[in-house]
Amino acid sequence: MIIGRLVSLPGRRLAATIGALWLIGVNALNVAAGTVPDSTWVSLQPLPGQGRTALFALAVDPFNNQVVVAANSQGSLLRTNNGGSSWTTARAGKTTINTLSFSPNTVGLVLAGTRGGGALASRDGGATWSAASGLEGRSVRVFAFGLTLVVAGTDHGVYTSADGFTWSPSALAGLSISALAVEAIHAPVRLVAGGDAQAAGGTLSLYQSLDSGATWKQLNPPIAGTMTLKLTAGPLPPVGNIRPLLVGTNTGLFASNDNGASFNPLSGGGLLPTTDYTQVAFITTHFDRFYAASDGGGAGSGGLWRTNDAGQTFTSLRPPQAAVTALAVSNDEQPRLYVATFQPATHLVSLWTYHDTGGTPVGPPPTESSTASGSRAGHTSEDSTLGRLLSSPQLPYIGLGLGALAVVLTAIAAHLRGRYR
């Protein structure tokens, strides 16, 4: 009799209702874990073992904006699969990591370049790593990707690979290559490489290959600076077959629309500050939308900027700390940014995330400072917890989950009252 009542039609309807509402509540809480407020800077968990040196190696999976890989100052590789809410050590190490790069073409492929220890490669999004062959003893400073070709810039020229795991020397063996860009991803891959000026007072040189790195010719554009810090090629524009090319040096940011034959300055003259630009990233398939970031070279002129008109105007995203040392941009129409900052005076390293929906940037919640505000009455742990909960950006989702739970309990109570009337 009891079993029959439990499996009666009203009982089944109640069970279905409870199940649906419970699913809503669980999903709401899961969404909260991976959601950040629009156009708002949110502090992430510190990177374990980072120490008090700047963080330079940071990359986000182009196929999953919650998966991020970073390298700490100890040489270990850390990974998060929840957007930086927590970090796990994927590989412990003692060799400094110079660079991290996900392949935009091969799901799960991510590479790490070390200082004097070659390269590491992963096929599973950075969960496990193995040493790449052919780069032993090299300092690997940058990676770039074609459809069927991977390229590395090292202290001994350019190396190429078909899969990221086995490498061969290509050319420019007498140069230290610090920046690479792929201008044409289909074979024969068109490449641009850059390094530092070869002599005191010398001009900055770029090198271009039209045959996947087999041969190179030197470009001598009138670009200010003595170090090439960043090279990035953007998506193809709607008309034409030439990708925009951006070059960041230690004194400015420059753009080319003719495969590097000439460049226009994007810094100085009331646009961006005249400083070093180490981070440049385009937004999905938009040839005219990109980010530029600088650590300021210790001069306080760092920051993070976005343009939606190919560099005619720039908008500051007002990062919580001016010196931006690493930037990773997700492959979304409204991207999620992962940013590392550094305070030279205190050597404080911070990690942030920012969901760029185009709104006015909002800073993180202010923190109390006993130095600035004088003595304050102590708070109980209950007060602090409640305050953090009420100020949390996930509060609406938590409320939705609790609301769903309340509806479930109300439905159970109504059902029981109906049975025993």
**Average pLDDT, consecutive stretches of 10 residues, N- to C-terminus, the chain (421 residues):** 38 46 38 73 95 95 98 96 97 95 98 98 98 98 97 97 97 94 94 79 83 92 87 95 95 94 91 94 97 89 96 96 97 98 93 97 61 28 37 45 53 53 52
| Strand-pair category, 119-122 with 150-154 | unpaired
Please tell me the predicted confidence (pLDDT) of residue 406: 57
The fourth-level CATH superfamily of domain 43-364 is: YVTN repeat-like/Quinoprotein amine dehydrogenase (2.130.10.10)
Residues whose CB is less than 8 angstroms from the CB of residue 122 and which lie 6 or more positions away in sequence, other chains included: 90, 108, 109, 110, 111, 112, 128, 129, 130
pLDDT of residue 139: 98
List the beta strands (DSSP E) in 285-418.
Answer: 290-294, 303-307, 315-316, 324-329, 336-343, 348-355
Give the CB-side neighbour count of residue 392, counting CA atoms within 13 A.
17
Contact 326, 57 (CB under 8 A): yes
CA-to-CA distance for 209 and 179, rounded, in angstroms? 14
Q: What is the pLDDT of residue 183?
A: 95
Length of the chain: 421
pLDDT of residue 36: 87
- Model pLDDT, residue 365: 60
Tokens of 196: 């530092």
Residue 410: the pLDDT is: 56
Residues 238 and 225: their CA atoms lie apart, in Å, by 32
Q: What is the pLDDT of residue 247?
A: 97
- Amino acid (one-letter) located at 267: S
Q: What are phi and psi of 276, to 5 degrees?
A: -85, 145
Supply 174's token pair: 């007498």
